[in-house]
Every structure is written in structure tokens, then in C-alpha cells.
A = this chain, B = another copy of it.
Amino acid sequence: MELDERKKTILQAVIRNYLETGEPVGSRTISKYTDLNLSSATIRNEMADLEEMGYILQPHTSAGRIPSDKGYRFYVDALMQKERQVSEMQELLVERQEKMETMLKQVAKVLAANTQYATMISAPTVKRNKLKFIQLSRVDANQLLAVIVIEGNIIKNNILPLKEELTDETLLKLNILLNTNLNGLSIDEINLGMIAVMKQQAGVHSDIVGEVIDAVGEAIRADEDLEIYTSGTNNIFRYPELADQQKASELINTFEEKQLLGELLQENQEDEGGTGIQIYIGEEAPVRGMKDCSVVTATYELGGGMKGTIGIVGPKRMDYDKVVDTLRTIQSQLDELYRDE
């Protein structure tokens, strides 16, 4: 059976109503809610069909209907208002901060306050970003400090232990060697072969120096684990369907063990061209413990190819329109904020 126009209207009405109230919605409500001018009996027949087709379901006999995952999916794909009035694009009060970390935390916080859902944001990955600058300097007799600056002014540093002392001259040479070989390359492109070549070029000192180069190489690629910041975790208590102990505990645990969120946030950074916004309903999200939630993710870009992902987690009956809208706003604000880099 196909969904005719009337069924769509009714389905939409059921979902809209449920999103607002969180209560199962009955035929009489729909009969008044829509301008179809149909009696509750007719609506009942249609709703029985919709249930048979899997778009809605009854928590128990003699209760109203609530949307199924399939129903939500259809709503999101086909029924949701795609074009939203841009007028009410309120400012979300994100300021550019000196430290990326501070800014990301702020974004998560602002989004949580704004949407009343739980939020998370992954720091932009730098694998594809280019190295701008490397500098080794001596901290004391047996410790070397390696500072690595990456496009977008991401800075990494590492203390390297030294077995033997390095002369000033060797240090200078090493600096030149590293910079001439590596500058302008993306972290992705730096591989073991290249490090081997550099070791060779180091010539006489290759044993001491090799050690240092290895350590630098290590330092560059070490930061595999992407950083994730979360906020508004306790918003889940606003939604009774998530607030019982079992579920709340599981969700909070997921938010604490941030690596569990990693997969979710990395999944769709690839898609080009689209809006970068993705909606996961219930089991669709690749995270255990979110089966009663919906997740909306958005890719953001800070210029210079630095991409990260924002995620908003709420009950399945979240206000998808508003969330998508808010994410769009944030996307464009971040874009603007960092355009000049």
C-alpha cells in the first residue's frame, strides 16, 4: 500500500502532536487538530492502516498512537519543513577564543542551553592539515622540546628525552632538516619512508639524530584520539522516556566514555556537497545505549580544511526542525568566525 496524501497529513499530525506533548495521540485529537474535517471514526480507520504499515504504533490497546522509528524517518525525510524562515536566525553568542578548546566547549554549552538537549562536539582533525613549522630547542642537558605548529595554528609540543647531549650545531642542523623536509606536508603524508630518508640525510649523527627524528615523527602522529567535548548531559532528565535510571545511567556513561561517541562523530565527515547534516533515529545511531534517542550531527569547517562534527542527542521526539535549524546557524557562524584563516 502506498501512502496517499491524506495518510501523510494524518501521519504528520500525529507526529507533530506527539513531538509537542509526548503523549500518545488519539483519533479525536487528530480529527480536531487537522483541517481535513473528518470524524474521529475515519481517522481511526486511517490510523489502523498506518499502524499496519508500520509508521505508528500503540503502546497498549486503548491508548493513542505514537510514531515508530519508521514513522520518524518518514517525517524527517519527507514531511519536515525543509525551508525554514531564515529571519529568526538568532545569534548564538559564540565568540572566537584564543584557544580552540575553549571555543569548542562554549559551542557545546551554547547549543545545549539553546536546544535543551545533550550536545557533543569533536575537535577538528588535523591529519590533512599542513605542517607550518617545527622547532626543536634544548630545555636542559638531556631534554629536548619539540614544538610543532600546524595550519590553523594548532600547536603540539613534546618533551623528548636525550641519551647524549647535542651540540648547538647539531640542533641547528636538525631544525633545518626537519623544516625543509616536512614543512608544507600534511600529517597524512608523513610516513615512515620519509623519516627513513631524513635519517639518511642526517649523515654522521644518524644514530642520535635518528632517535630524535623518530620521536618527532611519533609526536606528530600520536594524537590519534580525537578530542570530544560534551555539554548538557543532564538535559536528558527533561524527557521522561530517557530519565529512568537504567537508561539515564547508560546514556551518561556513554557521554563520559567519550571514545564511544567517536564513531558517531566521525562517520559522515566525508560527504561533500551536502549540508553536512545527518539524522539518526533510534537504532540507526552506531552507538549502543542510544537506541531510545535520536541524534543529529553536523559537520563544521573552520577554514583550512579543518573539519569537526557537532552532535545533538535527545529523545526521538526531539524538535528536529529546530535542531537542524540551530545546527545550520552554528555552522554558518563558525564558518564566518574562522573564514579569514
List 15 additional A-B contacts (Cβ < 8 Å) besides A133-B137, A248-B248: A133-B139, A137-B147, A139-B153, A143-B153, A145-B155, A153-B159, A155-B159, A157-B157, A230-B256, A233-B252, A234-B249, A234-B252, A234-B253, A237-B245, A243-B245
A13: Cβ under 8 A from any B Cβ: no
Task: With both chains docked as a complex, state the minimum distance between the C-beta of A38 and any C-beta of chain B, in angstroms.
Answer: 40
Residues of B within 8 A of A158 (CB): 98
Nearest chain B CB to A28 CB, angstrom units: 32
Which of B133, B230, B237, B253 contacts A145, CB < 8 Å?
B133
- Integer count of this chain's copies in the complex: 2
The 8 A CB mask of A31-67 against B (1 = contact, 0 = none) is 0000000000000000000000000000000000000
Complex: chain B residue closest to A143, CB-CB: B153
Query: Please, how many angstroms separate the alpha-carbon atoms of A293 and B252 in the complex?
Result: 19
User: Is A132 interfacial (CB-CB < 8 Å)?
Assistant: yes
Q: What is the size category of the interface that chain A forms with chain B? A: 20 to 34
| Interface residue? A149 (CB, 8 A) | yes
* Residue A12 interfacial (CB < 8 Å): no
Contact B248 A237 (CB under 8 A): yes
Those of A123-160 within 8 Å (CB) of chain B: 132-133, 135, 137, 139-140, 143, 145, 147, 149, 153, 155, 157-159
- Please indicate the chain B residues that have their CB under 8 angstroms from the CB of A249 in the complex: 234, 237
Tell me if A231 counts as interface (CB < 8 A to partner B).
yes
- Kindly state the separation between the CA atoms of A253 and B233 in the bound complex, as whole angstroms: 8
- Bitwise, A77-103 to B at CB < 8 A (1) or not (0) is 000000000000000000000100000
Complex: how many Å from CA A35 to CA B230? 53
A145 with B145: CB separation less than 8 A: no
Report yes or no: B139 in contact with A149, Cβ–Cβ below 8 A.
yes
How close is A314's CB to chain B, nearest CB, in angstroms?
A: 15
Report the minimal beta-carbon distance from A236 to chain B, rounded to whole angstroms.
9
Shortest CB-to-CB span from A308 to chain B, Å, is 19
With the chains together, A186 CA to B140 CA distance in Å? 18
Check A231–B248 contact: CB distance below 8 A: no
CB distance from A255 to the nearest CB of B (A): 9
Decide if B157 touches A155 in the complex (CB within 8 Å).
Answer: yes
- Residues of B within 8 Å of A232, CB to CB, are 256
Minimum distance in angstroms from A178 CB to a CB of chain B: 13
CB <8 Å contact, A231 and B243: no
CA distance A140 to B133 in the complex (A): 9
- In the complex, which residues of chain B have a beta carbon less than 8 angstroms from the beta carbon of A237? 245, 248-249
Give A146 Cβ to nearest chain B Cβ, in Å: 10
6 shortest A-B CB distances, which residue pairs? A237-B249, A234-B252, A234-B253, A234-B249, A155-B157, A153-B159
Contacts of A234 in B (CB 8 A): 248-250, 252-253, 256
